[in-house]
Amino acid sequence: VHIVESGGGLVQPGGSLRLSCQVSGFTSGDYAIGWFRQGSGKEREGVPCISRSDGSIYTPDSMKGRFTISSDNAKNTVYLQMNSLNAGDTAVYYCAYMSVGYYTSLMPEEYDYWGQGTQVTVSS
Protein backbone atom coordinates (compact mmCIF):
# COMPACT_ATOMS: atom_id res chain seq x y z
CA VAL A 1 0.00 0.00 0.00
CA HIS A 2 1.33 3.39 -0.99
CA ILE A 3 0.12 6.61 0.60
CA VAL A 4 0.83 10.16 -0.54
CA GLU A 5 -0.31 13.23 1.37
CA SER A 6 -0.41 16.72 -0.08
CA GLY A 7 -1.88 20.13 0.59
CA GLY A 8 0.07 21.30 3.60
CA GLY A 9 1.63 24.71 3.89
CA LEU A 10 1.64 28.02 5.72
CA VAL A 11 -1.70 29.59 6.57
CA GLN A 12 -2.73 32.56 8.67
CA PRO A 13 -4.80 32.11 11.84
CA GLY A 14 -8.45 31.77 10.94
CA GLY A 15 -7.60 30.41 7.53
CA SER A 16 -8.37 27.08 5.87
CA LEU A 17 -6.49 24.26 4.22
CA ARG A 18 -7.51 21.06 2.49
CA LEU A 19 -5.21 18.08 2.75
CA SER A 20 -5.37 15.16 0.34
CA CYS A 21 -4.42 11.54 0.87
CA GLN A 22 -4.14 9.32 -2.18
CA VAL A 23 -3.96 5.59 -1.55
CA SER A 24 -2.84 2.89 -3.98
CA GLY A 25 -1.81 -0.73 -3.93
CA PHE A 26 -4.62 -2.04 -1.79
CA THR A 27 -6.41 -5.23 -2.78
CA SER A 28 -9.68 -4.89 -0.92
CA GLY A 29 -12.23 -2.13 -0.59
CA ASP A 30 -12.54 -2.86 3.12
CA TYR A 31 -10.22 -0.45 4.85
CA ALA A 32 -10.16 2.78 6.77
CA ILE A 33 -8.14 5.94 6.38
CA GLY A 34 -7.23 8.04 9.36
CA TRP A 35 -5.62 11.42 9.65
CA PHE A 36 -3.21 12.02 12.50
CA ARG A 37 -1.04 14.92 13.49
CA GLN A 38 2.04 15.43 15.57
CA GLY A 39 3.18 18.80 16.80
CA SER A 40 6.70 19.52 17.95
CA GLY A 41 7.29 17.80 21.28
CA LYS A 42 3.79 16.33 21.32
CA GLU A 43 2.37 12.85 20.96
CA ARG A 44 0.68 11.77 17.76
CA GLU A 45 -2.98 12.75 17.89
CA GLY A 46 -5.92 11.35 15.96
CA VAL A 47 -7.81 13.66 13.63
CA PRO A 48 -10.91 12.40 11.75
CA CYS A 49 -10.97 8.95 10.15
CA ILE A 50 -13.26 7.35 7.59
CA SER A 51 -14.15 3.81 6.67
CA ARG A 52 -13.94 3.04 2.96
CA SER A 53 -16.30 0.10 3.52
CA ASP A 54 -19.37 2.02 4.58
CA GLY A 55 -18.38 5.68 4.75
CA SER A 56 -18.68 5.86 8.52
CA ILE A 57 -16.71 8.69 10.08
CA TYR A 58 -15.28 9.34 13.50
CA THR A 59 -14.23 12.83 14.48
CA PRO A 60 -12.85 13.79 17.89
CA ASP A 61 -15.24 16.11 19.75
CA SER A 62 -12.52 18.76 19.96
CA MET A 63 -12.39 18.96 16.17
CA LYS A 64 -16.04 18.76 15.25
CA GLY A 65 -17.16 21.85 13.43
CA ARG A 66 -13.68 22.70 12.19
CA PHE A 67 -12.29 19.51 10.62
CA THR A 68 -14.20 17.53 8.02
CA ILE A 69 -13.12 14.31 6.37
CA SER A 70 -14.47 13.12 3.04
CA SER A 71 -13.56 10.67 0.33
CA ASP A 72 -13.66 10.27 -3.42
CA ASN A 73 -13.62 6.52 -3.87
CA ALA A 74 -13.24 6.77 -7.63
CA LYS A 75 -9.95 8.61 -7.09
CA ASN A 76 -8.94 6.56 -4.01
CA THR A 77 -8.43 9.86 -2.26
CA VAL A 78 -9.44 11.08 1.17
CA TYR A 79 -9.61 14.76 2.01
CA LEU A 80 -9.30 16.66 5.26
CA GLN A 81 -10.86 20.10 5.19
CA MET A 82 -9.58 22.25 8.03
CA ASN A 83 -11.20 25.57 8.86
CA SER A 84 -10.68 28.27 11.49
CA LEU A 85 -7.11 27.16 11.96
CA ASN A 86 -5.10 28.36 14.93
CA ALA A 87 -1.53 28.03 16.11
CA GLY A 88 -2.43 24.88 18.03
CA ASP A 89 -3.13 23.14 14.74
CA THR A 90 0.48 23.51 13.64
CA ALA A 91 1.84 20.00 13.15
CA VAL A 92 2.91 17.40 10.66
CA TYR A 93 -0.24 15.74 9.40
CA TYR A 94 -0.12 12.08 8.49
CA CYS A 95 -2.50 9.87 6.57
CA ALA A 96 -2.66 6.23 7.56
CA TYR A 97 -4.29 3.04 6.22
CA MET A 98 -5.94 0.37 8.32
CA SER A 99 -6.79 -2.93 6.61
CA VAL A 100 -10.01 -3.48 8.54
CA GLY A 101 -13.46 -3.01 7.08
CA TYR A 102 -16.51 -1.44 8.70
CA TYR A 103 -14.45 -0.03 11.54
CA THR A 104 -13.05 3.34 12.51
CA SER A 105 -10.39 4.11 15.07
CA LEU A 106 -8.05 6.89 16.07
CA MET A 107 -5.54 4.58 17.73
CA PRO A 108 -2.29 4.91 15.74
CA GLU A 109 -1.19 1.38 16.60
CA GLU A 110 -4.14 -0.05 14.69
CA TYR A 111 -2.98 1.41 11.39
CA ASP A 112 -0.77 -0.61 9.05
CA TYR A 113 0.68 1.89 6.58
CA TRP A 114 1.60 5.55 6.90
CA GLY A 115 2.34 8.37 4.53
CA GLN A 116 5.38 10.60 4.81
CA GLY A 117 3.45 13.47 6.34
CA THR A 118 2.75 17.03 5.27
CA GLN A 119 3.60 20.10 7.33
CA VAL A 120 0.85 22.51 8.33
CA THR A 121 1.99 25.76 9.89
CA VAL A 122 -0.49 28.31 11.21
CA SER A 123 1.18 31.64 11.72
CA SER A 124 0.78 35.30 10.94
Please tell me the predicted confidence (pLDDT) of residue 51: 87
Please tell me the predicted confidence (pLDDT) of residue 72: 93
Please tell me the predicted confidence (pLDDT) of residue 117: 96
Q: Helix, strand, or coil here: 93?
A: strand
**Cα–Cα dist 53/50, whole Å:** 9
Q: Tell whether the model's pLDDT for residue 83 goes beyond 90.
A: yes
Antiparallel, parallel or unpaired: β 9-11 and 118-122: parallel
Q: Helix, strand, or coil here: 74?
A: helix
Please tell me the predicted confidence (pLDDT) of residue 29: 81
Please tell me the predicted confidence (pLDDT) of residue 46: 94
Query: What pairs with residue 11 in β-bridges?
Result: 122
Please tell me the predicted confidence (pLDDT) of residue 26: 84
Q: What is the pLDDT of residues 44-57, one digit of tens each?
A: 999 998 888 888 99
Q: What is the pLDDT of residues 84-121, one digit of tens each?
A: 999 999 999 999 999 988 889 999 999 999 999 999 99
Q: What is the pLDDT of residues 32-80, one digit of tens each?
A: 999 999 999 999 999 998 888 888 999 999 899 999 999 998 999 999 9
Please tell me the predicted confidence (pLDDT) of residue 52: 84
Amino acid at 116: Q
